[in-house]
Amino acid sequence: MKIVVLTGSPHKNGTSNTLVNEFIRGAEENGHIITRFDAPFLKIHPCIGCDHCGMDGPCIFNDDMSKILDAILDSDMVIFATPIYYFGFSAQIKSVIDRFYSKNGKIQSKHLKSAFIATAWNNDNMVMSGIKKHIEILIDYLNLDNIGTLLAKGYGYKGASTENHYMKEAYNLGKRV
């Protein structure tokens, strides 16, 4: 399968990217082809809602989003990986999701497989409740066939990132694809 990985952390060796690397390791071992886009290091203008695209047409911004959309429309699966910022996606990856708008129907009709990975510093019951709901709604709205969601709470300390059961869970998620 062709898998597009979208990441949203500016920390190249941070917690969410560490789990993504484990996911990729598992998926590549199973022969899947990964195309990765690290949103914080790309030029992606936030959607301004001008509706020039009419939800199915060219965007007024000529930036890195066009290659992300091309890759998604040529893929079988999309992975979303984000640090929790104020109980939700980071702005960097949310900008990518918002820019799905110009290909909204085409993305929906692909019935893509998906997986979500999120990491948060806090370890309480509330910390993942917002993103959990958001992910559920995105799966439904974007017509995704979600194979797994890894919500790694109490996982904000980079030094702990290789000594944590979440590493194994991320690898297993990749192997499950």
Ligand X SMILES: Cc1cc2nc3c(=O)[nH]c(=O)nc-3n(C[C@H](O)[C@H](O)[C@H](O)COP(=O)(O)O)c2cc1C
Which positions touch ligand X (CB under 6 A)? 9, 11, 14-17, 83-87, 119-122, 127, 155-156, 158
What is the nearest approach in angstroms of ligand X to the Cβ of residue 123?
8
Q: Is the CB of 14 or the CB of 28 nearer to ligand X?
A: 14
What is the nearest approach in angstroms of ligand X to the Cβ of residue 119?
4
What is the nearest approach in angstroms of ligand X to the Cβ of residue 152?
8
Q: Which residue is nearest to ligand X (CB)?
A: 14
| Separation CA 137–CA 157 (nearest Å) | 29
Q: Is the CB of 61 or the CB of 171 nearer to ligand X?
A: 171
Q: Is the CB of 11 or the CB of 45 nearer to ligand X?
A: 11
Please report, for residues 30, 66, 129, 164, 172, the alpha-carbon distance to residue 132 in angstroms, rounded to integers and kept in the order given. 28, 28, 5, 21, 20
Contact status, residue 104 vs residue 56, Cβ threshold 8 Å: yes
Contact status, residue 36 vs residue 12, Cβ threshold 8 Å: no
Contact status, residue 143 vs residue 108, Cβ threshold 8 Å: yes
What is the nearest approach in angstroms of ligand X to the Cβ of residue 158?
6
Q: Is the CB of 59 or the CB of 131 nearer to ligand X?
A: 131
What is the nearest approach in angstroms of ligand X to the Cβ of residue 161?
8
Backbone angles phi, psi at 147, to 5 degrees: -95, -15
- Tokens at 44, concatenated: 């992606």
The identity of residue 147, as a single letter, is I
- Tokens at 3, concatenated: 């898998």
Q: Is the CB of 37 or the CB of 155 nearer to ligand X?
A: 155
